[in-house]
A and B are shown apart, each in its own frame.
Chain A
Amino acid sequence: MNAKKIDHLATGVIYTLVISVIVILIAILGYILFNGVPDISWHFLTSAAQSFSAGGGIRDQLFNSLYLLILTIIVSLPIGLGAGIYLSEYAPNNWTTELIRTSVEVLSSLPSVVVGLFGYLLFVIKLNLGFSILSGAIALTFFNLPLLTRNIEESLRGVPDLQREAGMSLGLSSWKTTTKIVLPAALPGILTGLILSAGRIFGEAAALIYTAGQSAPTVDYTNWNIFSTTSFLNPMRPAETLAVHIWKVNTESVTPDAHLISSASSAVLIIVILIFNLGARFLGNKLYNKITASK
């Protein structure tokens, strides 16, 4: 065979693989959306779930998912930034650093259900936080932090050393160079990674079942006192999220319209995650273009 034939063959194989991936993806998405979207209504999005009768909605679950997402990001972003900056800019090249890196990698491949059970034992039981948004947010932080740290470290490393040298040669300290020159240049990558991880957090169920719990108590959306037990902002209340709701409706629900609710909820979940993913691309590109002023 000559080089040209091999090239054709290889291209053909690659195309076939790519197309099969796309077909599978479209089939799954299409199935979920096709089955779920017709049942999504304003009423569905804004009313509370019903345990026994039909016609329940997902208001609380949707809110819980978003609230948990925000709390998780508030907790994990500073830690991830600190760890990422340390690993990329300050860590010496020795075995301790390698050990930290390997640990982060191992942590990132932990199954989320293990993270959930660990969170259950440590936060819910030992530290007495109970089934709560806080326990859930901490568990999700464990789940999220390794990949986030990784992403931030890689984004920072992607900034050429020439930039650091430019900063140093102008008399900037290494901290100033890192925060004012390297970090802004890495921002598009960090932002993209952050939004993608938001998508993973939003869809996570296994880590939450035993930490944030499986019940969505009725909360008062007008009570802004986060210490009040009925406040929607109270982080100590249990909170079933959308993903957990889907799991629960499918396994133990007795409502007559369980199938409809799980289809519609899945569609909502997928749509939100799609928005995150597309948003990540869009915002990342936009920020990159803004920084480089390229079209």
Chain B
Amino acid sequence: MKEYNLTDSYITDITEKKALSTDNLQVYYGDNHAIFDANLNFPRYKITALIGASGCGKSTFLRCLNRMNDKVARVDGEIMYRNTDINSSKINVYEVRKHIGMVFQRPNPFAKSIKENIIFALKNAGINQKDELEERLEQSLKSAALWDEVKDNLNKSALALSGGQQQRLCIARSIAMKPDILLLDEPASALDPISTSKIEETLQTLKKDYSIIIVTHNLQQASRISDYTAFLHLGHIIEYNSTVNVFTHPKMRPTEDYVSGNFG
């Protein structure tokens, strides 16, 4: 692998309203320092892509943002959300996760019916009125472009769905909670092109109401769907800019090599 100077970086200023920002974020797995000094502002109602080679820390970084790294890694620094540091130990993490939802790389529906997959967490959050639950069920499945395929089989087990359908169900499950921010960790990497493009369309429509941060290995995907892109290398944020600029006028050498395929 080529040696790069990791201390140089180009981080653009976000002038729009911010959904979330990190301040000097550091992550350690035991002695392994996995994320160095991440300072990023994520714009509201935009899609931000996190790209970088395998093992550079994309998932690690993403999982910090809704405290999924609790008990897994030590996370220092601040994560500001609505003027609150949600990385503080005094924060109610369950509440944080209701505002910042997450979809994982591999579909992980519960071993329950399709309907129950969606409304289970809603009921847990104290939503009990039947019409409210029905409404959210339908809305979320529609937003995730799954409604037409499952509307007659809502009581069928979610495990009987195809991988692509399961992943859209997981997206629906997250948005049924009406979070502010949606974190997605390579949501389409295990899917065929048709399911992938369905999910990409879904994200484009969701952008109206949600701020989305997505990790992806697929550079075309990042350039197709995202407004901003952050490039990570060995735990450092090397470049953060509008997606057009990252892909057409990268400011940093590693970014240029990565997006043009001359990396490593």
Contact = CB atoms under 8 A, between A and B. Distances in A.
A and B found bound together? yes
Interface of A: 160, 162-163, 165-173, 176, 180-181, 184-185, 291-294
22 contacts: A160-B108, A162-B104, A162-B106, A163-B111, A165-B104, A166-B104, A166-B109, A166-B110, A167-B110, A168-B68, A170-B120, A170-B173, A171-B97, A171-B125, A172-B124, A173-B94, A176-B124, A184-B112, A291-B159, A293-B157, A293-B160, A294-B160
A291 B94 contact: no
Given A165-B104, A291-B111, A292-B111, A171 B121 contact: yes
B222 interface: no
B255 interface: no
Contacts of B95: 171
A244 B157 CA distance: 46
Nearest to A181: B110
Given A169-B102, A169-B174, 19 more contacts: A160-B108, A162-B108, A165-B104, A166-B170, A170-B97, A170-B101, A170-B174, A171-B95, A171-B121, A173-B94, A176-B124, A180-B124, A291-B112, A291-B159, A292-B160, A293-B156, A293-B157, A294-B157, A294-B159
**7 smallest A-B Cβ distances: which pairs?**
A293-B157, A170-B121, A162-B108, A169-B102, A171-B98, A171-B97, A293-B160
Interface of B: 66, 68, 94-98, 101-102, 104, 106, 108-112, 120-121, 124-125, 156-157, 159-160, 170, 173-174, 177
Nearest to B97: A171
B257 to A, nearest CB: 33
B74 to A, nearest CB: 16
Contacts of A292: 111, 157, 159-160
B152 to A, nearest CB: 14
Contacts of A160: 108
A293 B66 CA distance: 32
Given A293-B159, A294-B159, A168 B108 contact: no
B124 A171 contact: yes
